[in-house]
Amino acid sequence: MNNKYSDELWLGTLGNGEVRWVAVGMTNTVEEAANRHHTTPVATAALGRLMGASLLLASSMKAEEAITLRLLGDGPLGGVVAVGNPQGEVRGYVQEPQVELPLNSKGKLDVSGAVGAGEFVVSRSLANGESYTGMVPLVSGEIADDLVHYLLNSEQVRSAALLGVMVGKDSHVAGAAGMLFQLLPNASEESVQALEALLARIQGISQIAADSTTMEELVRELIGDLDYRVLEKRPVQYKCTCSKERVSETLISIGKEGFEELLEDKQAELVCHFCNEHYRFNEEDLRELYEQVK
């Protein structure tokens, strides 16, 4: 496992404050996702990038809120889902984790080929219990471009995004990071040009994530050419919301008849999609739950 530096999400501004940025270092978190779901390198890259996108978007939300991103493409990966919250907690899964594809023409993992054509779906769950879903067609399937396209078309926010996951020869995650720049509505042409020049210079965020030894170094390597301020730092981790109690509620909800069939089997096992945790119920557990079903 890569433990070079702890995963964190940093928020800040550039220059005169007309550009807000969010950076996430997530090498360990993506490694954990890969270990939990036994993903091939291209599936790790797609899942890791989407997890990063969910953290970047969620960073401006309030506590108790969360963002769910879905890639619904027609490629061999099937659907990819990630849920992030502003506390830096993220979880996700991919429908077909075992997909293998040849490298693309640039010699990189072919994420867009694995995702295919389809929709990019963004759902925001708010603290008041409401949720909003927006959808745009996938423009590239490389995920960073899709995030930028979504923000412009659904939220009228001009932005730029970088998302990268580098998988080493041993299938371990060597580096994973994401960065989002958002232009304030009144941003000057000067700020736009400074940002464009910066983006043109950055070569491969996953390589920078792999080469950095601290989060500070990662941020400096990415944006150090410009004046920048760091406003906030938050920890990032893979965290699922499942528990035996929650899974029990699911079992109870199947109703009396369905539950009696489970009792006949004398055991049940449920697997959480998001973290691949296996929850086992023996006959005694099932009898106890059955009292609640009746």
Q: Tell me which residues touch Zn ion (CB under 5 A).
A: 240, 242, 272, 274-275, 277
CB of 36 to Zn ion, least distance (A): 9
Is 36 or 149 the residue whose CB approaches Zn ion more closely? 36
- For Zn ion, the closer of residues 233 and 273 by Cβ is 273
- Tell me the closest approach of the beta carbon of residue 49 to Zn ion, in angstroms: 21
Q: How far is the CB of 137 from Zn ion (least distance, A)?
A: 30
Q: In angstroms, give the least distance from the CB of 29 to Zn ion.
A: 15
Measured N-to-C along each axis, helices 255-265 and 244-252 cross at an angle, to the nearest 10 degrees, of: 120
The nearest distance, CB 242 to Zn ion, in angstroms, is 3
Comparing CB distances to Zn ion, the nearer of 101 and 242 is 242
Name residue 145's amino acid.
Answer: D
Nearer to Zn ion, 214 or 241 (CB): 241
Specify the residue, 216 or 277, whose C-beta has the smaller distance to Zn ion: 277
Euclidean distance between CA atoms 11 and 282, whole angstroms:
47
Q: Name the minimum Å distance from CB 243 to Zn ion.
A: 8
Identity of the residue, 229 or 278, whose beta carbon is nearer to Zn ion in the bound complex = 278
